[in-house]
């Protein structure tokens, strides 16, 4: 009987250890963005976020009143991710939750382009699909990116995370 009790206790400890040790957020890589599969091989690399800022909300002139917010994240090597969000309210500076691409001008969602500065002439890598997810804890944001680069801009994916503050910036 003692052996069965010990076996049950060991099994319970092992199960608890496995459950407590398998937190998906612990495995999450933060502050790293990777481009893969683009036809311009020089763009396929890992970029480290340096900082970010937002501008907005501001009115977007549409048939109905919409509002926008711009968010930029700057990287090392020198490059930036520009995101513009069309929102239904002027109460939001930085969105929350999962956001998908806008279906068209003045429709809620996002428009995003990544501008790598590799010395090549570049009009940006425009995103055609995917999600951008925002989570906020105090003044710190987690911005998870899982985006597909439009085939006209070389295709591929942009995936990763920015973890840090997103203060209000100046129009530059």
Instruction: Tell me the pLDDT band of 2, cut-offs 50, 70 and 90.
Output: low
- Taking the C-alpha atoms of residue 68 and residue 88, their distance in angstroms, rounded to an integer, is 8
Query: Tokens 């969000």 label which residue?
Result: 85
Cβ distance 9 to 88 under 8 Å? no
Give the model's confidence band at 34: pLDDT under 50 very low, under 70 low, under 90 confident, else very high. very high
Instruction: Please name the residue that has the structure tokens 């090549």.
Output: 120
Check residue 46 and give its pLDDT: 94
- Measuring CA to CA, which residue among 72, 84, 96, 90 is closest to residue 166? 72
E-assigned strand segments in 37-124: 46-60, 66-76, 79-87, 97-99, 109-116
The per-residue pLDDT for range 103-118, each reduced to its tens digit, is 777 788 888 889 887 6
pTM (two decimals): 0.75
Tell me the pLDDT tens digit for each residue of 71-114.
889 888 788 888 888 877 666 677 778 888 887 777 888 888 89
User: What is the domain partition of the chain in residue ranges?
Assistant: 27-164
Residue 147, pLDDT > 90, answer yes
The tokens of 30 are what?
């933060």
Mean pLDDT of the chain, nearest integer: 79
Q: At residue 161, does pLDDT exceed 80?
A: yes
Cβ proximity of 167 and 74 under 8 Å = no
3-state secondary structure of 102: coil
pLDDT value, residue 142:
92
Please classify residue 110 by burial: count the beta carbons closer than 10 Å to its beta carbon, then call 0-12 exposed, 13-18 middle and 19+ buried. buried
């Amino acid at each position: 009987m003692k052996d069965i009790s010990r076996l049950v206790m060991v099994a319970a400890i092992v199960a608890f250890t496995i459950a407590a040790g398998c937190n998906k957020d612990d495995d999450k890589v933060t502050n790293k963005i990777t481009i893969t599969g683009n036809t311009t091989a020089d763009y396929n690399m890992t970029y480290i976020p340096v900082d970010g800022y937002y501008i907005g909300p501001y009115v977007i002139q549409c048939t109905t009143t919409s509002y926008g917010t711009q968010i930029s994240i700057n990287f090392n090597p020198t490059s930036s991710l520009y995101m513009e969000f069309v929102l239904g309210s002027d109460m939001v500076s930085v969105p929350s939750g999962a956001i998908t691409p806008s279906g068209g001008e003045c429709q809620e969602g996002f428009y995003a382009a990544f501008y790598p500065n590799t010395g090549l002439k570049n009009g940006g890598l425009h995103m055609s699909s995917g999600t951008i997810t925002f989570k906020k804890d105090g003044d710190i944001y987690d911005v998870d990116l899982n985006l597909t680069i439009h085939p006209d801009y070389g295709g591929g994916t942009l995936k990763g995370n920015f973890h840090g503050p997103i203060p209000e910036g100046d129009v530059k």
